[in-house]
Amino acid sequence: MKITLLGTGTSQGVPVIGCNCDACTSVDSRDVRSRCSVLVQSAETQIVVDVGPDFRNQMLKAKVNKLDAVFLTHEHNDHIIGLDDLRPLLFRNKNGIKIHAESRVIKDIQKRFEYAFIPQPYPGAPTFVVNNILDGEMIKVGDIEILPLRVIHGQLPILGFRIGDFAYLTDTNQIPDSTFEQLNGLKVLVIDALRERPHHSHFSIQEAIEAVNKISPDSAYFTHISHLLGPTSTWEKDLPKDIFPSYDGQEFVL
């Protein structure tokens, strides 16, 4: 299984439009962070978690020509607004590309992409097939098994995903005990770490380190990074052993 971090930046991306801070003007390629998304590929199956505003460029960069399923963590704009750009992949895949999400999230995308769900959409509109998922209930897509896990994002209960020995917990500042129990024996954990100071809906660096220590994966990678953290090279050196910054395009083979 190959996992590619397509995007590792917070909702505005890095660089931020009009910002001249050290992170936004950095020449380190790791400081160019598109909005969060992950591609998971096995020999026969390809799935993506979250479809944000940078989805089209992410698909072109990763040279994806087929997707079997989309999983959504939650309905915030930076995780769903690229759904219309699924069209070339929908037209190519006669079996359809199911969108798996919690019922609240599905209701939200039915409102925001209403034109795709009306009885007679205009020619060329995407046709989304949706599927309700629940935390703790394993889903199988081709030869990939995905376990949705409950995490809390401010006031919003959202989903993280465990796929084999890999787990992806973006947009969270609280992990319920029942989820910690399902994160044993991970090789790779990708987890939200927005910035230095606490935030109402994202882990700070220190909070993320505490969560990683509790989960104790072989290695952990921080995502949903804000420019407020500064250039990657300035904060990566302070991270504990086996915790690393992520970057767009980073691959794991598990």
Sites of contact with Zn ion (CB under 5 A): 16, 19, 21, 24, 76, 78, 171, 227
Residue number with CB closer to Zn ion (94 or 200): 200
Is 53 within 8 Å of 6 (Cβ atoms)? no
Peptide bond between residue 121 and the one before it cis (omega within 30 degrees of 0): no
Cα–Cα distance list, 79 to 7, 51, 171, 229, 248 (Å): 10, 5, 10, 21, 15
Query: Minimum distance from CB of 180 to Zn ion (Å)?
Result: 21
Supply 109's token pair: 């995308």
| Cβ-based neighbours of 148, under 8 Å, separated by 6 or more | 71, 133, 134, 135, 136, 137, 139, 159, 160, 161
The nearest distance, CB 227 to Zn ion, in angstroms, is 3
Residue 135 CB, nearest distance to Zn ion (Å)?
16
> Considering beta carbons, is residue 226 or 250 the nearer one to Zn ion?
226
* Residue type at position 90: L
Nearer to Zn ion, 102 or 171 (CB): 171
CB of 155 to Zn ion, least distance (A): 11
